[in-house]
Amino acid sequence: MSAGAVRLSRVERRFGEVVAVRRLELEIPAGAFFSIIGPSGCGKTTTLRMIAGLERPDAGTIAVGGTDVTHVPAYRRPVNTVFQSYALFPHLDVAANVAFGLVEERRPRDEVRRRVAEAVELVGLGGRERARPHELSGGQQQRVALARALVKRPSVLLLDEPLGALDLQLRKRLQGELRTLQRQVGTTFVYVTHDQEEAFSMSDAVAVMHEGELQQVGAPEDVYRRPATRFVADFVGAANVFPARVQDERVAGSYALAGAGGAALEATGPAGLGAGREVVVIVRPEDVVVGNGGASATVAAAAFAGAARHVTLDAGALGLVQATVPARADPLAEGDLTTVSWPADVAWTIA
């Protein structure tokens, strides 16, 4: 395993009768921006804390850079952590906060000054070295916490919802800055969040967890377009879900299906689903085409949402269909008659 990579093998963590993480198998490539997402209580933060050494697994092993660190204390692991609460020392200025870990390691003063200066410049805080935390904005405090973690040059940087306390606009801006910073330093970032959009916008790969178990790992677009489970489909974005039965696999991974009321459906999916298999077909609202042929539908509701309109349509045997259409398109009103359709290659089958 290359330096900086993280591997968890059959890792479990229990709190009394509650299994927080169950038989987790996960490998994080070196140099990746890797996110772990899932709802509250899914085990993502517990997983991060086990990598950090702040929690000890009840079973399994954890390796960093090919070295087993399962029983290595946190302070001896080549990792560092940035929490949602930045935990800056209020009586120390920016430079002293960033230098704290190096000073504790008794590094030479010249080395400390040089590395602190590099870290402060890296996060865009040059000129603010003498500012105290209360004189900084929330975004600047987050950068100090990042600099303090990066100055020790960890193989892996762990980030536990570090943007959670910031307002929406600042979060959006800092997402881009974090991704740029990760590319500059090349350190493996492991990022935990419940916000899938945040994770998708920054990550090379994401892992989705639910009730302590790993549901899927993959590139953000693969997870969104080809979810492995119904939970993943629902968690990573809005989805139309149509119960169906496989009629025929025309070619590998391409199916003809019968939906509710006998409605004919076509969809892609994992190869090898046999005829008669009960499945669900998901279609993302932004992939639904309104008013260009297909099944007859009646507009049940329509709402303006800035750049788009969210439309609910009653498509008879198919049931209610959610569609997201450009706001500049001809507005649809409740009761309007129209049609709905979608290309077969955007519909995905989940067994």
182-212 tens-digit pLDDT: 998 899 999 999 889 899 999 999 999 999 9
- Verify that 82 and 221 share a domain, yes or no: yes
Instruction: Please report whether residue 22 resides in a domain.
Output: yes
Domain assignment of residue 325, yes or no = yes
User: Which whole-number Å values give the CA distances from 128 to 145, 266, 339, in the listed order?
Assistant: 14, 59, 59
| Confidence at residue 139, expressed as pLDDT on a 0 to 100 scale | 87
pLDDT tens digits along 249-258:
988 899 999 9
Residue 275 shares a structural domain with residue 313: yes
* Other beta carbons within 10 Å of 73: 10
Same domain for 76 and 136: yes
CA 143, 149, 151, 154 dihedral sign is negative
Q: Does residue 1 sit within a domain?
A: no
Pairwise CA distance, residues 43 & 81, whole Å: 17
Measure the CA angle with vertex 332, ends 312 and 262; round to 5°: 40
CB-CB contact of 173 with 139 (8 Å): yes
Instruction: Provide the 10 A C-beta neighbour count for residue 28.
Output: 23
Q: Which of 24-33, 150-159, 165-174 has the lowest mean pLDDT?
A: 165-174
Q: CA 326 to CA 287: how far, in whole Å? A: 12
Range(s) of the domain holding residue 344: 238-350
Residues 163, 245, single domain; the answer is no
* Minimum mean pLDDT range among 26-30, 92-96, 289-293: 289-293
Mean pLDDT of 117-146: 91
Do the beta carbons of residue 152 and residue 101 sit within 8 Å? Answer: yes
User: In 3-state terms, what secondary structure has residue 233?
Assistant: helix
The string of pLDDT tens digits covering residues 39-52 is 999 999 999 999 99
CATH number, residue 109: 3.40.50.300
Contact in structure between 187 and 150 (CB atoms under 8 Å): yes
Is pLDDT above 60 for 101? yes
What's CA 56's distance to the chain center, in Å?
24
The answer to whether position 285 is within a domain reads yes
Residues 210 and 256 in one domain: no
Whether residues 216 and 338 fall in one domain: no
pLDDT band with cut points at 50, 70 and 90 for residue 335: very high
The two three-digit tokens of residue 140, written as one number: 């600047």
How many domains are there within the chain?
2
Q: Are strands 33-37 and 205-210 parallel, antiparallel or unpaired?
A: parallel
Query: 312-328 pLDDT, tens per residue?
Result: 999 998 899 999 999 88
Q: What is the pLDDT of residue 1?
A: 44
Q: What is the mean pLDDT of residues 216-243?
A: 95
Is 253 buried (19+), middle (13-18) or exposed (0-12) by CB count in 10 A? middle
Statement: residue 71 has pLDDT above 80:
yes
- Residues in contact with 54: Cβ distance below 8 Å, sequence separation at least 6, in sequence order: 74, 81
If phi over 0 gives left and psi between -120 and 50 gives alpha, with beta otherwise, what is residue 249? beta
pLDDT of residue 167: 80
- For residues 252 and 6, which has the higher predicted lDDT (pLDDT)? 6
Which helix H or strand E contains 192, and what residues bound it?
strand 188-193
Q: Which domain-ending residue is among 201, 231, 261?
A: 231
Helix/strand/coil for 65? coil
Q: What confidence score (pLDDT) does residue 132 get?
A: 95
Of the candidates 231, 257, 291, which is a domain's last residue? 231
Burial class (CB in 10 A: 0-12, 13-18, 19+), 247: middle
Q: Give me 211's structure tokens.
A: 């009730």
Residue 4's pLDDT band (boundaries 50, 70, 90)? low
Helix, strand, coil fractions of the chain, as percent rounded to 5: 30, 35, 35
Read off the pLDDT of each residue in 336-349 and give the average, rounded to a whole number. Answer: 95
Given 177, 211, 231, which residue is the final one in a domain? 231
Only one residue has tokens 């298999």, namely 277
Are 67 and 211 found together in one domain? yes
Q: Are residues 187 and 134 in the same domain?
A: yes
pLDDT of residue 164: 78
As given in the structure block, the two tokens for residue 203 are 């990550």
What's residue 3's pLDDT? 55
Average pLDDT over residues 266-290: 95
- CATH for 313: 2.40.50.140
For residues 40 and 297, what is the distance between their CA atoms, to the nearest angstrom?
A: 37
Q: Which of 29-38, 104-113, 173-182, 309-318 shows the lowest per-residue confidence on average (mean pLDDT)?
A: 173-182
**pLDDT of residue 96 exceeding 60:** yes
